[in-house]
A and B are shown apart, each in its own frame.
Chain A
Amino acid sequence: MREKIEQLLLKTQKPSRYIGGEHGSIIKDKSKIDVRFAFCFPDVYDVGMSHLGMKILYGLKNSVENYWCERVFMPEKDFEKLMRENDIPLYALESLDPLTEFDFIGFTLQYELSYTNVLAMLDLAGIPVRAKDRHDLTPIVMGGGPCACNPEPLADFFDLFILGEGEEVNLEVLSLYEKMKPNNPTKQEFLREAAKIEGVYVPAFYDVDYNTDGTVKAITPNIDSAPAKVKKRIIKDFDKVYYPDGFVVPFTSIVHDRAVVEVLRGCIRGCRFCQAGFIYRPFREKNIDTIKAETKCICEQTGYEEVSLSSLSTSDYTRINDLLESLVEYTDDERINLSLPSLRVDNFSEELLEKIKSVRKSGLTFAPEAGTQKLRNVINKNVTEDEIMHTCKMAFEGGYANVKLYFMLGLPEETMEDIEGIAKLAQDVVDLYYETPKEKRGRGIQVSISTATFVPKPFTPFEFEPQATSNEIKAKQQHLFESITSKKIKCSCHQQNVSILEAVLARGDRRLCDAIYTAWKKGCTLDGWDEHFRYDLWLEAFDECGVDISFYANRRRSYDEVLPWSHLDYLVSHEFLVRENKKAHNAETTRNCKEGCSGCGVKKECGGVYCG
């Protein structure tokens, strides 16, 4: 097998992505292994290798001596073709063994557009894509990650899903398997036991009934051991959670090629469109000493010259200044760059600001998401125009001249005035630049507006909302272009069709399984890549399977409709989401968790810093 693979490598781009052997990749002696796990990232190597969750779970499973976790990625189209022509089944990068030899095949579901890749990868491995066609105990196909909060469109393809945070439950599932395996259980027997573990959802154990209007009538367990509601898992003592002492360091440059340390999980802000802000609740953080020790450990093991702090919003760390000062002490000594994505500038000490000023004068990014304060109140995005202007002023004085502004189009309650607000905000930034003294400011102001179409997601206050139709979005894009007058402002809009597909899949039910299967059969894979995205084929697939796109994308759900994910419990209560939805329509904001708990339903026992 290895020889066969090697002979193909020189026919493809960046072959080192397909052969493993990177520093930090873990090779074990197969004869001493009881559980083999193939961790699949359903996208190409460059994307998957950048993903922190994969690094954590890879290290975690390999920390158990008799478990061996390996990495698998989606090959690019050229290599997939070569593999098929030469009868090479999809293999894992460590042992180069085909996936059929593994006990578990685990997919991380990070975005809807990777769904067809899951099918493609199973098929390339020679494994039947539908769970009902896989009769043996192994391989057991499981999925996790944010999209597992509504895994229904994939229900036919998976044996089980893991809801919520994986650090504990993954090991529980593997150890259950290790215990049962000597008795040769059937897959059914194993799944029955697995379903008793909190956070494990076995879709086959639930029946879905539909109303005549097409909405879901009821979702009911069909065996006793399956709970009526499956609850997501959460790490209660986040400071003590497993963190890898090493990463796999790729040879080729990848999207995020640096050391990463997770400082906090959850978000206090509750932006109403943001799924991450709700499904990762509550807000928990690590101690400074823990973060510092993990930083040091990862930097030393990888040899990276840059370390980045990861979180949904790093500036919300309770002792951010102390943390940074403590880290800079180490990174300066070791000549390592410390990069801080998602940070607000205003709560910095002078000294740190000085240090920041001396590099990377190129980019400054804001995500106001909406053009007017009214609409920002609707979405509960806690950014004011003053704050943006204040930060831009400091940045311009520090020599920055490029500002990127991110917005969404098609938000609930959005009017054409809000669209004009986007253009006005960008113009204000341009004007501010020209007010900055010439000797201080950098040269060549450029403000870029980037817009994406709003996609309503499960477990957010907007899960009830219709997505704006194609025509509505087109009219808004048109209006935005017309409202921009300055040549210093550039505007780009995301592909509309991608957002429609995301909207269908995000809030879909089990009746979409066939459509996904059909789309994949027609040749849809790597949908997340513009050059491969074939909306026409997706439309054909939906049509053939009798799926009405507007039913999923553009329909308003009533508060009492049974949603396809209503048997899954992400701790945030339905009542809270309804309350937030109503407030949104009244343009009322909700305070963040730090200012005071709003009673979202997450229990104090989950370890949240602010939960009361």
Chain B
Amino acid sequence: MADFLVPKNQSLVLERFDYRLTYGKTGRAKYISHLDLMRTMQRVFKRAKIPIWYTQGFNPHAYLNFPLALSLGTDSTVEVLDVALLEEHDSDEIMTRLNACMPEGLHIYKVAKPVLKHTEIAQAEYTIKFNSNTSADEAKTRFEHFAGRDKIEIEKRTKKKGINIVDIKPHINLVSATASDNMTVIDIILPAGCQFNLNTSLVMDAFCKLESVEIDNIYTTRTKIMCKNGEDFI
């Protein structure tokens, strides 16, 4: 008949212990969406029997915070997760217990107390490997040409104004472009964080369009999350 729910007792707790986790999302796990990752991590803590602190107020929820979203399909071993716990734990113990409960492809590399604020995040570095309809060398040359253009105008959707034309050229910082094993390898730094964020897919789409390249296989890895001054965020 009716679908009832017998509730848990959620009492008010004011003390919280904050931790910053560095984790990796690779292999099969790179297809977990941002929203699903939240739920997944929450369950990992539950399995590890490390209770998360709940936000207080009208609609309490587990305090888990991912300051920088990672695009679906991008590998990374430098991701950041902030969490508040109910109890103080030894960092190594948190790491060991969580890793014992992780699904394939998710892994914690470091647990520490948070130092910098999320707003400090300003840029991220990526390695992009791809095959295309031209040779690896030719694609490399074309990418260099692409990065050297005066203007790279793309359409960006915004909530307020609808479609907007933006020049992303000033934001693209090409570190290196090489060709190896029949693949073109691009190392690139792009703005990241809450103020201005540029996805690799936007850049690659613009590249394909402007340089008439068709990509077959593409593998993207985020290698660094950095502050404005170029220092590592974590």
Q: Enumerate chain A interface residues (CB-CB to B < 8 A).
A: 3, 6-7, 9-10, 14-16, 19-23, 27, 249, 251-253, 300-306, 315, 324, 328, 331-332, 334-345, 352, 355-356, 358-360, 363-367, 391, 395
Chain B positions within 8 Å of A6 at CB level: 73
Binary CB contact string for chain B from 213 to 234 against chain A (1 if under 8 A, 0 otherwise) = 0001110000000000000000
Q: How far is the CA of A587 from the CA of B44 in the complex (A)?
A: 55
Chain B positions within 8 Å of A3 at CB level: 217
Chain B positions within 8 Å of A251 at CB level: 31-33, 36-37, 39-40, 103
**Is B39 a contact of A253 with CB atoms below 8 Å?**
yes
Closest to A395 in B: B2
* B28 lies within 8 A of chain A by Cβ: yes
Q: Which of B4-12, B114-122, B159-167 is near enough to bind chain A?
A: B4-12
Q: How far is the CA of A301 from the CA of B49 in the complex (A)?
A: 11
**Is B36 a contact of A16 with CB atoms below 8 Å?**
yes
Query: Smallest Cβ distance from A254 to chain B, in angstroms?
Result: 11
**Is A21 a contact of B4 with CB atoms below 8 Å?**
no
Q: How far is the CA of A27 from the CA of B103 in the complex (A)?
A: 12
Query: Smallest Cβ distance from B15 to chain A, in angstroms?
Result: 17
Option from A14, A27, A305, A345 in Cβ contact (under 8 Å) with B2? A345
27 contacts between A and B (CB under 8 A): A9-B31, A15-B72, A15-B73, A16-B33, A16-B36, A19-B28, A19-B31, A23-B101, A249-B103, A251-B36, A251-B37, A301-B47, A302-B43, A303-B46, A305-B46, A337-B7, A338-B6, A339-B5, A339-B6, A342-B1, A344-B1, A352-B6, A355-B6, A359-B5, A365-B3, A391-B1, A391-B2
**Is B44 a contact of A303 with CB atoms below 8 Å?**
yes
A341-B3 in contact given A21-B105, A300-B47 (Cβ < 8 Å): yes
Query: Smallest Cβ distance from A356 to chain B, in angstroms?
Result: 5
A23-B8 in contact given A303-B44, A363-B2 (Cβ < 8 Å): no
Chain B positions within 8 Å of A304 at CB level: 43, 46
| A251-B37, A302-B43, A338-B6 known, 15 other contacts, Cβ within 8 Å | A7-B216, A16-B31, A21-B28, A21-B103, A21-B105, A23-B101, A251-B31, A304-B43, A304-B46, A337-B6, A339-B6, A343-B2, A355-B7, A356-B5, A360-B5
Chain B positions within 8 Å of A335 at CB level: 8-10, 51
Binary CB contact string for chain B from 183 to 223 against chain A (1 if under 8 A, 0 otherwise) = 00000000000000000000000000000000011100000
A366-B27 in contact given A324-B6, A335-B10 (Cβ < 8 Å): no
Chain A positions within 8 Å of B47 at CB level: 23, 300-303
**Is B2 a contact of A16 with CB atoms below 8 Å?**
no
Query: Smallest Cβ distance from B63 to chain A, in angstroms?
Result: 14
**Is A21 a contact of B10 with CB atoms below 8 Å?**
no
Q: How far is the CA of A358 from the CA of B47 in the complex (A)?
A: 27
Query: Smallest Cβ distance from A124 to chain B, in angstroms?
Result: 20
Chain A positions within 8 Å of B6 at CB level: 324, 328, 331, 337-340, 352, 355-356, 359
Task: List residues of B (10-34) whose CB comes within 8 Å of A's CBs.
Answer: 10, 27-29, 31-33
Chain A positions within 8 Å of B3 at CB level: 339-341, 360, 363, 365
Chain A positions within 8 Å of B31 at CB level: 9, 15-16, 19, 251
**Is B45 a contact of A303 with CB atoms below 8 Å?**
yes
Chain A positions within 8 Å of B4 at CB level: 339-340, 343, 345, 356, 360
A23-B217 in contact given A252-B33, A360-B5, A365-B2 (Cβ < 8 Å): no
* B88 lies within 8 A of chain A by Cβ: no
Q: How far is the CA of A438 from the CA of B44 in the complex (A)?
A: 45
**Is B43 a contact of A249 with CB atoms below 8 Å?**
yes
Q: How far is the CA of A341 from the CA of B5 in the complex (A)?
A: 9
Closest to A315 in B: B1
Task: List residues of B (46-80) whose CB comes within 8 Å of A's CBs.
Answer: 46-47, 51, 72-73
Query: Smallest Cβ distance from A74 to chain B, in angstroms?
Result: 19
Q: How far is the CA of A88 from the CA of B32 in the complex (A)?
A: 22
Query: Smallest Cβ distance from B56 to chain A, in angstroms?
Result: 15
Closest to B103 in A: A23
Closest to A252 in B: B36
Query: Smallest Cβ distance from B58 to chain A, in angstroms?
Result: 14
Chain B positions within 8 Å of A365 at CB level: 1-3
Q: How far is the CA of A340 from the CA of B4 in the complex (A)?
A: 5
**Is A366 a contact of B5 with CB atoms below 8 Å?**
no
Query: Smallest Cβ distance from B101 to chain A, in angstroms?
Result: 7
**Is A253 a contact of B36 with CB atoms below 8 Å?**
yes
Q: How far is the CA of A590 from the CA of B216 in the complex (A)?
A: 67
* B104 lies within 8 A of chain A by Cβ: yes
Query: Smallest Cβ distance from A447 to chain B, in angstroms?
Result: 14
Chain B positions within 8 Å of A352 at CB level: 6
Q: How far is the CA of A331 from the CA of B9 in the complex (A)?
A: 10
